[in-house]
Structure 1
Amino acid sequence: MDEIRLIIASDSVGETAELVTKACTSQFNQLGKALEIIRLPYIETDENVDEVIAVAKEQQSIVIYTLVKPKIRKYMKEQLDLYNLDHVDIMGPLMTILTEQLNESPLNEPGMVHKLDEDYFKKIEAIEFAVKYDDGRDPRGLPKADIVLLGVSRTSKTPLSQYLAHKRFKVMNVPLVPEVDPPETLFEIDPAKCIALKIDPNKLNAIRKERLVQLGLNDDASYAQDQRILAELEYFETIVSRIGCPVIDVSNKAIEETANEIIKIVTANKSFKL
């Protein structure tokens, strides 16, 4: 059989059109080596379209295209019809239907799928980061973090880290315990990305007692005693004063509320880039 030549023309990299094309061609056993696929990316001007048409005319190719800008898409269709070239517009018909049904103009921005993919992978990377550097287990994460949360035990550092990770922030949390010196790196990084989580001692006492009960332990353990809590909070104030970072009182705040405050603080820092 004669060779079937296909041209993938796209205003982005052309992966979407190629995937659809290969899904279709895989249904035909006869094609095999008789199939040639050429991808022509970044078709953004009339001149680019003319180049596609020239190649298609010379090789008598079928043109499969994904062009989101209406003017370029229209010009492509006109030229393909003019030279009687077989073609498939993958995106145009559906975009027209959606425009009519939604009564909304499309963004007409090439490469949006890849932007969405990039956001997704950034989120996954941030979630993995939060898990890897949870509870201050590796100080090497401090320079890499977008946000560093500081606080005594039971101030919601871990759930906050995970919540912020879903917003694509790389978060490390560091527990402050009187018996354990924090890593020296903590005092060397930009204090603007450190957030200290303050809590009322009575509130903390109640939270810790509840936690001990959940673990099947007596709620009178030193972990929940007033003297121990006050000592931890005093140590917390010492470290925070040394760093000079912003402080948020989480005593009566939901995770979402605290997270929003944190985001406002770190994004207000002009050196911060997400």
Structure 2
Amino acid sequence: MPVEGGSGRSDIIIYVVSDSAGDTGEVVVRAAVAQFHPAYADVRRAPFVQDEGTIERVLIRALSENAVILYTLVIPRLREYMAMRAEEMNVQAVDLLGPLIESLERQTGSKSRQEPGLNHVLDADYFRKVEAVEFAVKYDDAKDPTGILKADIVLVGVSRTSKTPLSMYLAHKTYKVANVPLVPELKLPPELFKLPKSKIVGLTIGTHYLNIIRKERLKALGLPDNASYATTTRIEYELEYAESVMKQLGCVVIDVSHKAVEETASLILETVRG
């Protein structure tokens, strides 16, 4: 069964089932999960589903893991099979596209084309998005600092300020984003000081809020929540260091406390556009 992702402990498991790539479903899932931050969701894709057998295997796994399914199945027989079997097995399954397609068919008086993946027509914009996503993965957490000078946007901030989720979200808007963790014990990449400050965005967060997020992250990893990483003293030290770096860089600083990824991304785009 072609299920992608799925590693580590989580608060909730969500399967995104699609007869295409599953991009639409995953974006919707992550937007919904953001409303329950700092709860963690393990989002697993089952893309390019073409038969009932694959659906059956996903349902069995979802049942055994008490998971939720969100599906974006365009082909009617697959959509109907998912709805029928999910109800019979008492698995929570949400049909994202079906009701809307049916409403549009009634409104327009014509049948849908029933072709998966039409929103991924291979045009220039699609290729730019793919390139931006690959860029975000390659230059995440300053694994390769050469990406800093190639990026449209560079995000800097301490751990758990949503640098990676923001990089991926902005990549889907076709922006090439690199991000750099600010850790007092690590030397900053010299490339960071060669950038125009208009390309750099600093991310900060309230001490109390970060303390909660880091404790939850440690729990999710099966570690004690009293580790140094999550102590108030350590967090304050890191935030003071990050503030000094951002002042050196002269960049815009955004407080991500209590903000969803989409809200922060919107503020970032306002900043870089100008």
**How far apart, CA to CA, are the structure 2 residues paired with 1:181 and 1:199?**
22
**How far apart, CA to CA, are the structure 1 residues paired with 2:202 and 2:122?**
32
**How far apart, CA to CA, are the structure 2 residues paired with 1:116 and 1:246?**
35
Matched, 1:246 2:230: no
Of 162, 170, 175, the residue aligned with 2:181 is 175
Matched, 1:147 2:153: yes
Q: Secondary structure at the residue paired with 2:156?
A: strand
Shift of 1:220: 0.3
> Which amino acid in structure 2 is aligned with residue 222 of structure 1?
S
Matched, 1:206 2:212: yes
Matched, 1:218 2:224: yes
What RMSD over aligned residues (CA atoms) do the two structures have, in Å? 1.7
Within 5 Å, which residues of 2 pair with 1:126-137?
Answer: 126-137=132-143
Matched, 1:265 2:265: no
> Which amino acid in structure 1 is aligned with residue 254 of structure 2?
I
**How far apart, CA to CA, are the structure 1 residues paired with 2:191 and 2:135?**
18
Deviation string 1:110-156 (CA, Å, 9 cap, x unpaired) is xxxxx970100000000000000001111100110000000000000
> Which amino acid in structure 1 is aligned with residue 272 of structure 2?
V
> Which amino acid in structure 1 is aligned with residue 208 of structure 2?
N
Residue equivalent to 2:242: 236
Q: Secondary structure at the residue paired with 2:234?
A: helix
Within 5 Å, which residues of 2 pair with 1:1-274?
Answer: 117-268=123-274
Shift of 1:180: 0.3
Shift of 1:252: 1.2
Q: Secondary structure at the residue paired with 2:202?
A: strand
**How far apart, CA to CA, are the structure 1 residues paired with 2:149 and 2:180?**
13
**How far apart, CA to CA, are the structure 2 residues paired with 1:116 and 1:192?**
32
Shift of 1:188: 1.0
Greater RCO structure (CA 8 Å; 6+ sep):
2
Shift of 1:213: 0.5
User: Size of the alignment, in residue pairs?
Assistant: 157
Q: Secondary structure at the residue paired with 2:123?
A: helix
> Which amino acid in structure 2 is aligned with residue 189 of structure 1?
L
Q: Secondary structure at the residue paired with 2:201?
A: strand
> Which amino acid in structure 1 is aligned with residue 181 of structure 2?
P
Identity of aligned residues (%): 60
> Which amino acid in structure 1 is aligned with residue 213 of structure 2?
I
Deviation string 1:1-28 (CA, Å, 9 cap, x unpaired) is xxxxxxxxxxxxxxxxxxxxxxxxxxxx
> Which amino acid in structure 1 is aligned with residue 230 of structure 2?
A
Shift of 1:201: 0.4
> Which amino acid in structure 1 is aligned with residue 200 of structure 2?
C
Shift of 1:193: 0.6
Normalised to the residue count of structure 2, the TM-score between the two structures is 0.56
Deviation string 1:151-184 (CA, Å, 9 cap, x unpaired) is 0000000000000000000000100000001111
Structure 2 unaligned spans of 5+: 1-107, 110-120
**How far apart, CA to CA, are the structure 1 residues paired with 2:241 and 2:179?**
17
Residue equivalent to 1:37: none
Which of the two has higher C-alpha Rg?
A: 1
Residue equivalent to 1:54: none
Deviation string 1:197-229 (CA, Å, 9 cap, x unpaired) is 010000000000000011111000000001100
Q: Secondary structure at the residue paired with 1:195?
A: strand
